[in-house]
Chain A
Amino acid sequence: MKRPDKDSAAGARKMTRRALILGGAQAGFMGLLALRMRYMQVEEADKFRLLAEENRINIRLIPPARGEIFDRNGAPIAVNNPAYRISLTREDAGDVEEVLRRLTSLIKLTDEELERAQTELKRTQPFFPVTVADQVAWSDVTQIAVNAPALPGVTPEVGLTRTYPQGSDFAHVVGYVGPVSDYDLSKMEAPDQLLLIPRFQIGKVGVEAKLEEELRGKAGARRVEVNHVGREMRELDRREGQQGENLQLTIDANLQTYVQGRLDGESAAAVVMDVTNGDILAIGSAPSFDPNLFVRGISVSDYRALTENKYRPLAAKSVQGIYPPGSTFKMVVGLAGLDAGIIGPEDTFYCRGHLEVSGRRFHCWKGSGHGSMNLEGSLRESCDIYYYELAMQLGIEKISAMAQKLGLGDRIDLPMSAVAQGLAPTKAWKREARGEDWMIGDTVNSAIGQGFVLASPLQLTVMTARIAAGRAVQPRLIKKINGIEQPIADAPSLGLNENHLRQIRKGMFSVSNNRKGTAYGSRIIAEQYRMAGKTGTSQVRNITAKERAAGVRSNADLPWERRDHALFVNFAPYENPKVAVAVVIEHGGGGSAVAAPVARDITLQALFQGEPPLDAYPQKDRPRVQEMQKKLREYRPAAGTDAKSRA
């Protein structure tokens, strides 16, 4: 096709023009690209550099070793033992099912563990090790090491696990640790980053929980470079954390073990306190449980056994249990009477076995009556009528005030879980709590530690120590934190007349050293260790007139739950008090027969700091004591010592 030159020349000119337009547009767009590049790479470079670093760098926490707990002499109570766990890395394992099958033929794995491992393996990144078995015995670790070629991706790892070498003996005192739960986190305002680590363990109850801050320590951190799926490529730097602080308790482990052994078989609590400085030397509660079970993750059946046991092994009865103090409350009433000037030591009340108060008849434990009783006699023989008469003249407010002065009805600040407040009732309290007016009968009941009065074994110990020392002794459980001695709380004078206190102590001395005393049978023979105490038998039921007419049945005939609590409080030595002891045996029967011997034995053990010689005991007790000592030497706490191996 031949075209006129003019036409094609015009076409060429047009094309040149349009090519320049198009080229210009392209150049313009490239300029835009260059500007965008400059904006991102120069102006915004710092922002993007930061984002790149955030992508690349991960902060990984290094959990600190938890602080350990020792007794006052340095015996270990809560320690960190090396624990072996077996983990599996998916990408190294290849055939995960096959490797798991081989693993199960070597070590025992429960179906639960297997299933959990399998689901976790599916969920996590292939390079992330998944724990298959925790708390593995050393023998299993060696088995796996020997068979390593057949087990690709399987690695034994060593970590630290909390162990309680004293087993059940300290379960109620130090408690135990467990993995952080969502509930734990919900209670905290700004939880420590450490708590977000899966399976990180924190104190759940007892000292472990109360001194969590001190025990936990500070997390270290590693800065690591990670790739897009979070695989760790290399460590950039590391800052070591700070180990948790070690604690030293005021408790003497030997005495604690003795107390637990002595209470074994009963549902009971006992507390031993140093009168001079308030140090808690032993604080036992029976039955107990093995805290190591909780660290490892307690099985449903084990846990059910603990919760369904009617002796309530999980409760720390020494601080959580509150009981009517019974006759051990008589010192409070007597002291209040002396302090108010209502009675003198030699003033008497006449006991004919019962007393009519506004149409109601109140009985003495001794139906035939004690006759004329002065203060010492009333304590020695635990006459009830004396205290009914005295209390009616005193009024409840003065009694309550004295009880508070001696530490009853006040929450004692001790780092254990659920420390009970108890109750020293007042008229205002009854109106508020019950919506009823205070009745004279309530005062009469309170006079002998029944009715509304409630106290924990710890509070009874504090009361006894205060009577013995004449000062407001405060209990102390933590002796040292990281080697630093903790302050002993001020023990100001109670502001009571020393003569009055001496009268009360004299009455208590009679209880266990006078032939007529209710605890004469459980006296201490050794002159320099003789103790002063008071028995208590607190009713957990009302005795009806009909029952009384038919003759009060002995405790042994009643079902366990309805038997009386047996109580005993004492301090020793009488001349120069060193220890105060309180023993409560739930539904044990009479204080003099059941609680007093236990308290005496514990007192002697505390004073001698070990097994006392037989001649400290009354002659007729010696064969029985000897047999018991033999038995106690064989006592071992539940799952103490070697708790690291797998059951």
Chain B
Amino acid sequence: MIQFMQQLINGISLGSIYALIALGYTMVYGIIKLINFAHGDIYMLGAYIGFVFATKTGMGFIPTLIVAMITCSIIGVVIEMIAYKPLRNATRITALITAIGVSYFIEASTQKVMGTNPRAFPNLLPKGNLNISGVVITYQQIFILVVTVLLMIGLQFVVTKTKIGRAMRAVSVDTDAARLMGVNVDQTISFTFALGSALAGAAGVLVGIYYNSINPLMGLVPGVKAFIAAVFGGIGIIPGAMLGGILIGVTEALVSGYGSSLYKDAVVYVILIIILVVKPAGLLGKNVREKV
């Protein structure tokens, strides 16, 4: 039981980070139907921006998090403007390949500027842990969970309660109808990229702190995992991405704990395959049937 609780807690803290990244995938997909494969690299950039900012200024956790989030949101908007906006009317495969190109570009540029070796991320959160009858929870895990929950609540507020959030949902349901209401669709898409990239940037800083080590290719695997999380929950559905992220994190932790950590990725992919076969629209997705 203690082992189970322990793995559950590890899984939830890891999964909440996947969820943060998955939200960006899902929001961008919801609005322009693009799987933004460069999204995992935004997360990596968030970690590097946090690293440079924290080591150069010696500032603490909160300022580092905010700087990483803001910088990433700007980078996300610029990428959308340069790489995806000109392809708005192109086929989806064109945009997808472009996204992969952007991903390689960001990775290679980071390797060039920061070097290929891993860097040690400064310790921005207090060390130590709580021991609740044998289950160990580190302060870092608590911090990660608190920060991700706050960010998700904030996102949910923006999406459901604000005018721009309404516009985001309207554009994702019916772009032309939103245009007929006077919504500036390009601005709404930019805003979506800004929001998603900010969350990825936050995830980058949190992972940097959690694992203590960052490298230019660190976005690859979590990027794919987060993508799976988004598909798992139902791509385009925001609560689905949160749920998917947590579930994948917990699955990985449980597989590592009870089986072997060698199998954790395999199990995640097997789950993806099962989901795609059994419920292709994802856990919270609706099977859309055209009404005639």
Task: Specify whether A and B are partners.
Answer: no
Give chain B's interface residues, CB within 8 Å of chain A.
none
User: Which chain A residues have a beta carbon within 8 Å of chain B's beta carbons?
Assistant: none
